[in-house]
Homo-oligomer: A and B are copies of this chain.
């Protein structure tokens, strides 16, 4: 049997809830905090302990997982007066699974080290389904020894757990992933928008192109949803726009021109202007329908 750990889990939204559930079912004790308590209720009903702040949950744990919305939320969760860094136990491993900025990940690792804490950035790919089925891709940056300690827990949530390098490397890899998704979304949306204008049967088109050189995870997962008019969020437009913004800023710092990403970001800003920020990323297809 593996050791049972005392784990803090901060952020129990669509993703966090599923991920925390896998940790609990493996026999670990969970201490949770979420801005909206109602969204933690299922975990509390299953035996997790509630705390009134991120710091108080962290103070009970030797592993602290966080997955919140935006870099600002990460900043507050870690650096606030009731934050994780101020309250975590020396020796604890802090693991931020939010998609956030590489620079912020490095700042967290530095501040954590000062207090004798280890910090990893470990953003994920795979969306709501990947979280539910423990099939996430987890990209980890930070100290190699801390990675080895956290790995068995990460493997409870993911099918692929890879150490990408020093602090920030997980976030950089996730940015690379999001950059890949950005143009992939245009790819299938434009393919179907064209086919539709050409008067083709779109289900039949997907049958052909979904198995060929144009096939992608985005196409196979999201195009069928879009075609049946399902724009419910698996992954929110507003979160994807945040990711693309971070990636563009980060690329600009590196003096790297990414025309595909820039085009996708512009289109998603139009999606938001249409009032679809709370839709799933497949709402990009609606924009092409409108044109």
The chain A residues found within 8 Å of chain B, CB to CB, are 102, 125-127, 130, 137, 139, 159-160, 162-165, 169, 172-173, 175-184, 186-195, 197-201, 204-205, 207-209, 211-219, 221, 235, 247, 250-251, 254, 256-264, 266-267, 288, 291
- Complex Cα–Cα for A204 and B163 (A): 8
Q: Which residues of B contact A191 (CB under 8 A)?
A: 176-177, 179-180
Report the minimum CB–CB distance from A269 to chain B (whole Å).
12
Looking at A130, A186, A188, which has the most chain B CB atoms within 10 Å of its CB?
A186
**Is B254 in contact with A198, judged by CB distance below 8 angstroms?**
yes
**Is A165 in contact with B200, judged by CB distance below 8 angstroms?**
yes
**Is B217 in contact with A200, judged by CB distance below 8 angstroms?**
no
In the complex with contacts A260-B263, A263-B259, A173-B205 CB distance below 8 A = yes
Report the minimum CB–CB distance from A215 to chain B (whole Å).
5
Q: Which residues of B contact A207 (CB under 8 A)?
A: 160, 162
What residue of chain B has the Cβ atom nearest to residue A221's Cβ?
B213
**Is B259 in contact with A266, judged by CB distance below 8 angstroms?**
yes
**Is A251 in contact with B194, judged by CB distance below 8 angstroms?**
yes
Contact of A212 among B175, B177, B182, B267 (CB under 8 A): B177
What residue of chain B has the Cβ atom nearest to residue A136's Cβ?
B212
**Is B194 in contact with A256, judged by CB distance below 8 angstroms?**
yes
- Complex Cα–Cα for A187 and B177 (A): 9
In the complex with contacts A212-B126, A217-B213, A218-B213, A190-B260 CB distance below 8 A = yes
- Complex Cα–Cα for A40 and B257 (A): 44
**Is B194 in contact with A258, judged by CB distance below 8 angstroms?**
yes
Q: Which residues of B contact A262 (CB under 8 A)?
A: 263
- Complex Cα–Cα for A258 and B196 (A): 13
Report the minimum CB–CB distance from A100 to chain B (whole Å).
15
- Complex Cα–Cα for A197 and B194 (A): 34
Contact of A256 among B193, B258, B260 (CB under 8 A): B193
Q: What are 27 A-B pairs with beta-carbon distances under 8 A?
A: A126-B213, A130-B213, A137-B208, A159-B211, A162-B207, A164-B204, A169-B198, A172-B199, A173-B195, A173-B200, A176-B192, A178-B214, A180-B209, A180-B216, A181-B187, A183-B183, A183-B187, A183-B190, A190-B258, A194-B258, A197-B256, A198-B254, A212-B217, A256-B291, A257-B291, A259-B267, A263-B263
